[in-house]
Amino acid sequence: MPIIIPVLLAGGSGTRLWPLSRELYPKQFLSLVDAQSLLQNTALRAATLPGAGAPLAICGETHRFIVAEQLREAGIQGGKVMLEPQARNTAPAAACAAQWVQAQHGPQAIVLLLAADQVVADVDAFGLAVEAAIDAAQAGCIVSFGIKPTRAETGFGYLRKGDALEPAHGDARAWRIASFVEKPDAARAQAFVDSGEYFWNGGMFAFRADAFLQELARLEPQMADACARAVALSTEDLDFCRLDAAAFAQARSESIDYAVMERTDKAALVPLDAGWDDVGSWRFLQEMSAADAQGNVAHGDVMLQDCKGTSAYADSGLLTLLGVEDLVVVTTRDAVLVADKGRLQDVKAVVERLRSEGRKEAREHTRVYRPWGWYETVAQGPRFLVKHLFVKPGGRLSLQMHHHRAEHWTVVKGVARVVCGERDTLLAEDESTYIPLGHRHRLENPGKIDLELIEVQSGGYLGEDDIVRFEDHYGRGNGD
């Protein structure tokens, strides 16, 4: 059995799942199915495979600490996080992953490329499909997992299977890909489903590191060279592998399908019937729970009265709906989405408008995650801001200073170590301290339990960019 390195593609913003998914905390980090996030479930699912090594996660600079912390919380040991200097789609990501896997584990190692924001309900069926894919990959194929369609979906590309490859694993078998089909109209999509010969293109792949790199060098030599240099010139930072920015910028942005799969004679597919969903829009909400007699689905504290075919998601507070039909309603602490079911793909346009108008609701939640924990805005007004801070055991904020605000901290749980100027003190529950404007200060949790405190800011400017960092345990700069 060859070593299998799961590569978790953890970039992306998940805009069609707004307002739950935001730029700073997109859908792959959300717990939408169970207590684990989509990323954590993807990593844990891959860890069950025979021969699976520690994963390589790929993301951008903004999400690096979230990815690392979620893997740690899930009990995933020894994983690596590769940082892309900029988004370049899946082909450069796959190329850099293959280069890294080849250097670390040898050219015959298998790369299992997985999107970190998908749902797979049947882990056993997933394992059988991967076994069939590994056999084909060992023989030099570049394997795509074709999802057995459950509806005439017009939002996905399709794969048509060709001749069968050997061997089979129960009902799991690899096939040649006869053709790739772009997103069809409704009539063609229905014909594809009825034929039984077509599968959704699920965006998951398996290949030998050397086989993929050889094909990429033949089909996209400039991209292959740029990615090879980006990995060769990469630097280590804590548990992160930072790709060289100048080299990576030379790789054009392209999907693995267009760059390789549609042009190679080594493409194969393995059908996957395992309760897969790409969580691509709020349509997922309709399918994540059993509907009531009127076709309604509710998640959270929801009360529906005389509603039909309606999906409701309450992330915070009570949501009540009366006499509505075929709507999707999603509430969070700071935003509400009300959408016709037929317009769910257009949520992305709403997010683009929010971005163009400079609205923070497109970028962040009221709760913002940091490597030391998180903070959440509780109240805000002219010249004041109240936050709830959570600092995990061993977590510490940077040694910093503010030009425009003073802060008052009150501990409500745990023990805080506070450095302010020359003072270094411990605060217990119900104790407080004052941080004057312009004073260097640091907050740390030296205890074994979580630290929670209330922070009251006052001053003429309360933006997060009023932070001057002098020293940081996590290697962050002033703009990070």
The proportion of the chain whose per-residue pLDDT surpasses 70, expressed as a percent, equals 98
- Cβ–Cβ < 8 Å for 396, 442: yes
Clarify whether residues 86 and 230 are in a common domain: yes
Mean pLDDT of 178-185: 91
Considering the domain boundaries, does residue 124 fall inside one? yes
SS3 of residue 64 by DSSP = helix
The radius of gyration of the chain's CA atoms, rounded to the nearest angstrom, is 24
Any domain includes 477? no
C-alpha span between 62 and 309 (Å, rounded): 38
How far is the C-alpha of 472 from the C-alpha of 235, rounded, in Å?
Answer: 19
Q: What is the pLDDT of residues 36-72, one digit of tens each?
A: 999 999 999 999 999 999 999 999 999 999 999 999 9
pLDDT, tens digit (0-9, with 9 covering 90-100), for 230-262: 999 999 987 899 999 999 999 999 999 999 999
Regarding whether 382 and 443 lie in a shared domain, the answer is yes
Confidence of residue 389 (pLDDT cuts 50, 70, 90): very high
For position 466, which CATH number holds? 2.60.120.10
Q: Over 90: is that where the pLDDT of 316 sits?
A: no
pLDDT for residue 29 is more than 90? yes
Yes or no: say if 445 and 400 are a contact pair by the CB < 8 Å rule.
Answer: no
The yes-or-no verdict on residue 480 having pLDDT over 60 is: no
What are 119's strand-pairing partners?
277
Are 123 and 9 part of one and the same domain? yes
The verdict on 298 and 156 lying in the same domain is: no
228 and 327 both lie in a single domain: no
- The number of angstroms, rounded, from the C-alpha of 163 to the middle of its chain's C-alpha atoms is 35
Per this entry, what is the length of the chain?
Answer: 480
Per-residue pLDDT at 479 exceeds 60: no
Q: Are residues 332 and 193 in the same domain?
A: no
> How many percent of the chain have pLDDT more than 90?
87
Flag whether pLDDT at 126 surpasses 80. Answer: yes
Q: Is residue 288 part of a domain?
A: no
Whether pTM > 0.85 for this model: the answer is yes
Cα(first)–Cα(last) distance of the chain, in Å?
42
Distance CA 170, CA 166 (A): 12
Place of tokens 């995933």: 76
| CATH code where residue 118 lies | 3.90.550.10
Query: Are residues 74 and 184 both part of a single domain?
Result: yes
Q: Is residue 229 part of a domain?
A: yes
Q: Is residue 287 part of a domain?
A: no
Q: How far apart are CA 221 and CA 252, in angstroms?
A: 11
The β-bridge relationship of strands 198-208 and 240-242 is unpaired
Q: What is the pLDDT of residue 238?
A: 79
Check pLDDT > 70 for residue 127.
yes
Helix (H, G, I), strand (E, B) or coil at 458: strand
Is the domain of 316 the same as that of 373?
A: no
- If asked whether residues 273 and 325 sit together in one domain, one would say no
For residue 323, is it left (φ>0), alpha (ψ between -120 and 50) or beta?
left
Query: Any bridge partners for residue 336, and if so which?
Result: 331
Res. 305: pLDDT tops 80? yes
Q: Answer yes or no: is 203 within a domain.
A: yes
The confidence score (pLDDT) of residue 376 equals: 95
Indicate if 301 and 442 belong to the same structural domain: no
Mean pLDDT for the stretch of residues 403-411: 97
Task: State which of 248, 277, 306 marks the end of a domain.
Answer: 277
186-199 b/e (C-beta count within 10 Å ≥ 16 → b)? eeebbebbeeeebb
* Euclidean distance between CA atoms 298 and 31, whole angstroms: 16
CB-CB neighbours of 168 under 10 Å: 14
The per-residue pLDDT for 95 is 98
Q: What would the mean pLDDT of 163-171 be, rounded to a whole number?
A: 71
Q: What is the pLDDT of residue 203?
A: 93
Assigned domain for 286 exists: no
Residue 171 has pLDDT above 70, yes or no: no
- The enclosing H or E element of 313 equals strand 311-314
Q: What is the 3-state secondary structure (H, E, C) of 136-200?
A: HHHCCCEEEEEECCCCCCCCCCEEEEEEEEEEEECCEEEEEEEEEECCCCHHHHHHHHHHCCEEE
d(CA 451, CA 412) in angstroms, rounded, equals 8
> Is 216 in contact with 95 (CB distance < 8 Å)?
yes
Sign of the torsion formed by the C-alpha atoms of 271, 273, 278 and 280: positive
Model confidence band, residue 172 (pLDDT cutoffs 50, 70, 90): confident
Among residues 353, 376, 391, which one ends one of the domains?
353
Average pLDDT estimate for 303-324: 95
Flag whether 12 is in a domain.
Answer: yes
Token pair in block for residue 80: 């690596």
Residue 385 has pLDDT above 60, yes or no: yes
Range of the domain at 465: 367-471
- Give the β-pairing of 142-147 and 198-208: antiparallel
Mean pLDDT throughout 126-145?
95
Are residue 301 and residue 261 in the same domain, yes or no?
Answer: no
Residue 347 has pLDDT above 80, yes or no: yes
What gap in Å lies between CA 365 and CA 23, rounded to an integer?
9
CA 90/CA 258 separation, integer angstroms: 10
CB neighbour class for 340 (10 Å; exposed up to 12, middle 13-18, buried from 19): exposed
**Does one domain contain both 130 and 228?**
yes
Q: Tell me the average pLDDT of the chain.
A: 94
Last residue of a domain, one of 303, 326, 353: 353
Q: Which amino acid, one-letter code, is at 293?
A: A
Q: Please state the domain count of the chain.
A: 3
